[in-house]
Structure 1
Amino acid sequence: MRLILPTAWHPAAVDAGLIAVATADVVLHVIPQWPVAKTVSGGVALLALLMRRHHRYLAFMFTVPALIMTSIATPALIALYTVARHARDRRVVVLCAVTVAVADGIPSPLDFHGHGSRDLLITVIYSTLLGAAPAFLGQLVQARADLTARLRDVVEARERSERLAAQTVLATERAQLAREMHDVVSHQVSLIAVQAAALQVSAKPTDAAAAGTIRELAVKTLNELRHMINILQASASRATPLAPQPTLTNLHALVTDSGLDATLHGQLREDLDAATQRAIYRTVQEGLTNARKHAPGAPVDVELWHDRSVVGVTVTNGPPTRQALSLPSAGHGLIGLRERAELLHGTLTTERTGDGGFRISLHLPITK
């Protein structure tokens, strides 16, 4: 949305036009029989208009004598409009308008010579309108300028709001992308690295070289993923909606295909919402990934459980039976799991077991 405003005239051009009109009014009024004082008052009124932008009240005062002495009204009306255009105190505007009306009406009643109250009433009405018109016009232009400025502020605020909303959406998408990269891609690549390392140990020398190359490429890919995740999470929002992911029906395949000595037991309620199922799935996936990376050869126990109000999963692995592989890790997995748990008003706890293993426990409230 763009606010289209009319192009303002250049101030110098406006001043030149107004002074030209005022000069014409003075020239048409001046006659040779006038006293010098009247002619001088007209000239002073014209010169006063040159300072109306910076000293509007002083300019107005210098135009009033010409209106009183000669009925030259244009300079006084221009000066009154300038005062009304910029003055914020309406009492000042009313005072200046009354001054113009009185100054315009003073000479005429003195020249009535008994023409009657009808002429006096007409003079009062015309003088009042003469003072009120520029005052109302100036106030109207001031109100229009204020409204234009407010509309401009509203448009700018709306544009800022739209930009902020776009940035929020972008940050949300980056957080979601970072999470899914870690949960899906990193999990699969780490599995490739582990399997390649195992093949490198047991394969023939000719195949071991290929397995070693695969493992090196997998490790390099994990490093690159870690840097990409860091960049994405730098500007991400915590309030990231969970994207559609595998459900609890995929847990058995996840454990079976993990390549670990893993056991899945226990069961969960069938009426769990999709977000809760995804959180449990990702917790099991992260527990298997951590066991594969940090506790090779250790048995893994995945226990599902629930009661009337809470559902959860516990993934426990024993101590490693062989040296762990040196795979890159930035700790984003557990951070992501805690974020998922907090979004669902649950908790995630991690702890070392007494035998040197590791345990991850997820507790989530059951939503009706």
Structure 2
Amino acid sequence: MIEMTGTAGATGTVGTTGATGVTGATARPGKQFWERVPAPVVDVGLVALAALDAGLNLSDDTPFGLALAAVACAALALRRRFPLIVFLLTLPATLIQDTLVAPLAALFTLAVRYRDRRLLAVCAILSAIATAIPWPPGPSTWIGRTWTLVDFVYTLATAAAPVLLGQLVQAHRDLSQRLTEIEEAREHERVLHAQAVLARERAQLAREMHDVVSHQVSLIAVQAGAVQVAAKDPETREAARSIRALSVGTLDELRTMVTLLRASGGDATELTPQPTLADLHKLVASSGIEAELKGELSPTVGTPAQRALYRTVQEALTNVRKHAPGARATVELWHDGPEVGVTISNTAPSRPALPLPSAHQGLVGLKERADILHGTLESGPTADGGFRVRMRIPAHAD
């Protein structure tokens, strides 16, 4: 009985991870049918086969002979844990009975589990000797000794077969494990390469943001400051002040984003301050529109949840300023059991909106934030011509 429990060969091709996407990985082939059979089923079947072999080839039906045969067959159930001991237990039965399955199965398991070839050679010779020596011993003749020697040669060849097959299974396992390790190493190299490419792209994006966007926003802030100083109309000065304050805030945000991009996941990201609910009052006050903040939340709300609520309010107020000139906005914080949320609603615009560049990705990004935190985001027009954005997330989302 041959037990094939080797690990499936690592022949699957793992997909390449690139900086812009991941190609599908080729699935590993399924296990062979003998590998899908549970080990207890194999053990029971092997013990039954050995018992059938011993019963059909019983040459000593004395209680002692039957006991040795029973021990040899039953010991096969423990061959995985104690292969050498099980083999030694089959030798007495092999000596007095014409059994074949028990010693060969024990030799095969021993060859699969052990790497010492000298030990395996000795065990094969012992099995051949126990099979070839006549039992009970009697007076030997020259012809009898010759046939004993011939029988020994044949039985030695028979015993060598499970040993060689067991070593082949062991080599197959080692090769499969080695191939798996090589594939894992290659996958690790691909991941490192993808991370390096991503780091270069982040560094390039950080340079573009610093050299182009930050420069232009700085010019806006400078021009707004000049208008604020030169204007005589209070409303114009207030508008210029708001533009300058928003430009300065945008510069701070850009510096934070540049720092994050350049850090590329390093320790520098831990030093970057992130907005919380405590910053909402300042955000609403500097929004450049008529806005009111209602309600409050406990400071024990998780940091990811606070950041998501802040970004939701920031995006909603920005949209009001861009698309609903003259509208009034209301920001309401609320909690509902284990969940917290914010509702931003605005009235209808009081004057036409100027065409402004927009990628229409703000609400999409907020929806993605809510999904990541296992929350929901609802947005849409109201009956009075305004617009409402509502985010609900777990208070301790991570």
Taking structure 2 as the reference length, the TM-score comes to 0.54
2:86 is equivalent to residue 47 of structure 1: no
Written as runs of structure 1 = structure 2, the 5 A alignment for 1:1-368 is 1-2=13-14, 3-4=28-29, 6-7=31-32, 8=35, 9-30=37-58, 34-107=61-134, 115=143, 119-120=147-148, 122-205=150-233, 207-235=236-264
Q: Structure 1 regions of 5+ residues with no counterpart?
A: 238-368
Q: CA deviation at 1:91?
A: 1.1
CA RMSD of aligned residues (A): 2.5
Q: CA deviation at 1:113?
A: 5.5
SS of the residue 1:107 aligns to: coil
Identity of aligned residues (%): 44
Q: Distance in 1 between matches of 2:57 and 2:100?
A: 10
Q: CA deviation at 1:222?
A: 0.7
Q: Distance in 1 between matches of 2:163 and 2:239?
A: 92
1:84 aligned partner, one-letter code:
A
Q: Distance in 2 between matches of 1:230 and 1:50?
A: 64
- The count of residues paired between Structure 1 and Structure 2 equals 236
1:63-102 Cα offsets, whole Å, 9 max, x none, are: 0111111121211111111111110211111111111111
Q: CA deviation at 1:38?
A: 2.1
Asked whether the 8 Å contact 2:90–2:102 carries over to 1, the reply is: yes
Q: Which shifted more, 194-203 or 104-113?
A: 104-113
Q: CA deviation at 1:53?
A: 1.6
Change (3 A) 1:62 1:197: same
Asked whether the 8 Å contact 1:172–1:236 carries over to 2, the reply is: no
Find the structure with the greater CA-based Rg: 1
Q: Which shifted more, 206-215 or 145-154?
A: 206-215
Q: Distance in 2 between matches of 1:112 and 1:161?
A: 69
1:276-334 Cα offsets, whole Å, 9 max, x none, are: xxxxxxxxxxxxxxxxxxxxxxxxxxxxxxxxxxxxxxxxxxxxxxxxxxxxxxxxxxx
Q: CA deviation at 1:185?
A: 0.7
Asked whether the 8 Å contact 2:131–2:155 carries over to 1, the reply is: yes
Q: CA deviation at 1:120?
A: 5.0
Q: Distance in 2 between matches of 1:6 and 1:113?
A: 54
Change (3 A) 1:169 1:192: same
Q: Distance in 1 between matches of 2:30 and 2:123?
A: 31
Q: Which shifted more, 113-122 or 12-21?
A: 113-122
